[in-house]
Amino acid sequence: MNSSNPVLNRAYSQRGYAAMNTVPELEESFNAPAASSLRTGRMTMDDVVARTAILLGTAVFVGAAAWFLNLPPALLFVGFIGGLVTGLIGAFSKKVRPALYVTYAVFQGLVLGILSKTYELFYPGIVQQAVVATIAAFVGMLFMYKSGRLRATPKFTKVLLGAALGYLVLGLGSLISVLFGGGSLYSLSLFGPMLAFAGVAIASFFLILDFDAAEQGVRMGVPQEESWRAGFGLVMTVVWLYLEILRLLAILRGNND
């Protein structure tokens, strides 16, 4: 069985996990009493929620500390580089690395705290709006997934990955334009809001892939430690979503000034 999340699908396949789909296994599972992950050694959705809460809580705690301690903007670069390196290693590592995922959360918390404080100085109240919007988007996507209105079908996954790749290319093009003094696409009155809305939409839909990956992992009976990987994926998307919403709100408020 394959996961819709390409990174987790590769990890599950390489470790040789398979769903319990034989008749004896199904009969045994139906006849056996309910068991927690401590008894079975397999990942449950509660495990995913717990690991996600640990990682997200770490990021929020570090972010709050960076905010209230008024850490210098120079540390933002440290957070970006550290988050990028640990994020890439965590995403493509064959092994589950809880310590690395926590380190990633620390770096991302540093970025979130300093960046949020900077935005708040220019646009008072924007952080609260971004937090509320992020929570609303998460709950909305979860409802759409659980109700069956959105599913991570192969077509959905391909279209979303293609859109994300296109968005990444535009983002890199915008960055290169800024470096060479040509101005950013985000600064243009027409393309700025459109690209920002696209970023929020793509990040939101990526939550569907994360939800599906976690559900597939539970169904495939992967080891409990894989809940760290699933939580890591969810935190990556939530952080991405928050930053996209923060940028969108800044663009909209900037255009209204």
Instruction: Summarize the confidence of residues 127-137 as an average pLDDT.
Output: 96
Domain-by-domain residue ranges, the chain? 6-49+124-256
Closest CA to 246 of 136, 126, 164: 126
Q: Rounded to 5, what percent of the chain is helix, strand, coil?
A: 80, 0, 20
User: How many residues does this entry show for the chain?
Assistant: 257
pLDDT band at 21 (very low <50, low <70, confident <90, very high): very low
Q: Residue 34 pLDDT more than 90?
A: no
Tens of pLDDT, residue by residue over 178-196, are 556 555 545 545 566 788 8
State yes or no: pLDDT of 8 exceeds 70.
Answer: no
pLDDT digits 0-9 by tens, 143-159: 999 998 999 999 999 99
Predicted pLDDT at 253 = 82
Residue 223 has pLDDT above 70, yes or no: yes
pLDDT score at 255: 66
pTM, entire model: 0.81
Q: Note the pLDDT of residue 23.
A: 42
Cα–Cα nearest to 15, from 102, 96, 99, 89:
96
Contacts 24+ apart (CB under 8 A), 14-17: 14/94, 15/94, 15/222, 17/217, 17/220, 17/221, 17/222
Between 124 and 41, name the one with better pLDDT: 124
Percentage of the residues of the chain whose pLDDT score is greater than 70: 75
Alpha-carbon distance of 205 to 18, in angstroms, equals 26
